[in-house]
C-alpha cells in the first residue's frame, strides 16, 4: 500500500466513522475464500453489502505462534488489530481486522498483501470476509 493510499484511507476513516470490530449486531455481508474469484465479483454478488457504509474487514490467517507478535506489529501500522481465534495444528488461526469502506481495488490489494505477509511469516492467508451492522427498520 503506497503513501497516497494510506493518506486516502486516513481521510476516508475520518469522513466515515463506522462500527468497531467488536461492535454488537455485526453480520457477515460478504466472503472471499476462493482465490480464483475476483474480489470485484464477490462484492458485486453480495446482496447484503452496503457499498457506501464502513465495514469491518477481516482477513483470516494461519500463522506460527512465535510470529504473532511480529504480525501484530506489522499490521498495526495500517490500522489492523490481530485477534487470535484458535490453534490449527502447528499454526494459529487469527483475524486481522480493521474498519474501512470496501471497494474491489483495496480488497484485492489487501488480500495480496495478507498472502505475502503470511507467507513471509511461515503461514497462510485463507481469505477475507466483511461485517456490517444489521440494517435498522
> 111 in helix, strand or coil?
helix
Cα distance between residue 48 and residue 27, in whole Å: 9
Residues 6+ positions from 21 with CB-CB distance below 8 Å: 56, 58, 81, 83, 97, 98, 99
Q: What is the mean pLDDT of residues 97-106?
A: 95
Would the pLDDT of 1 be above 70? Answer: no
Residues 80-107 have a mean pLDDT of: 93
When pLDDT is averaged across residues 83-100 and rounded to a whole number, the result is 92
- What are 45-69's pLDDT values in tens digits? 999 999 999 999 999 999 999 999 9
User: Average pLDDT of the chain?
Assistant: 90
Q: Is the dihedral of CA 40, 45, 112, 36 positive or negative?
A: negative
pLDDT band at 136 (very low <50, low <70, confident <90, very high): low
pLDDT, mean of residues 102-130: 96
Distance in angstroms (rounded) separating the CA atoms of residues 83 and 60 = 10
pLDDT for the residue numbered 134: 81
CA–CA dist 11, 6 (Å, integer): 9
Give the pairing of strands 54-63 and 124-133: antiparallel
Task: Please determine, for residue 14, whether its predicted confidence score (pLDDT) is greater than 90.
Answer: no
Amino acid at each position: 500500500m503506497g503513501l497516497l493510499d494510506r493518506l486516502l484511507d486516513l481521510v476516508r476513516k475520518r469522513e466515515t466513522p463506522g462500527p468497531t470490530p467488536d461492535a454488537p449486531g455485526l453480520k457477515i455481508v460478504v466472503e472471499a475464500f476462493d482465490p480464483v474469484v475476483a474480489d470485484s465479483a464477490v462484492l458485486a454478488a453480495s446482496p447484503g453489502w452496503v457499498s457506501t457504509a464502513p465495514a469491518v474487514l477481516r482477513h483470516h490467517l494461519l500463522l506460527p505462534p512465535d510470529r504473532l507478535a511480529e504480525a501484530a506489529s506489522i499490521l498495526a501500522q495500517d490500522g489492523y488489530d490481530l485477534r487470535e481465534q484458535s490453534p490449527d495444528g502447528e499454526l494459529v488461526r487469527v483475524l486481522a481486522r480493521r474498519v474501512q469502506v470496501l471497494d474491489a481495488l483495496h480488497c484485492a490489494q489487501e488480500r495480496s498483501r495478507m498472502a505475502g505477509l503470511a507467507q513471509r511469516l511461515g503461514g497462510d492467508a485463507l481469505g477475507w470476509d466483511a461485517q456490517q451492522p444489521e440494517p435498522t427498520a
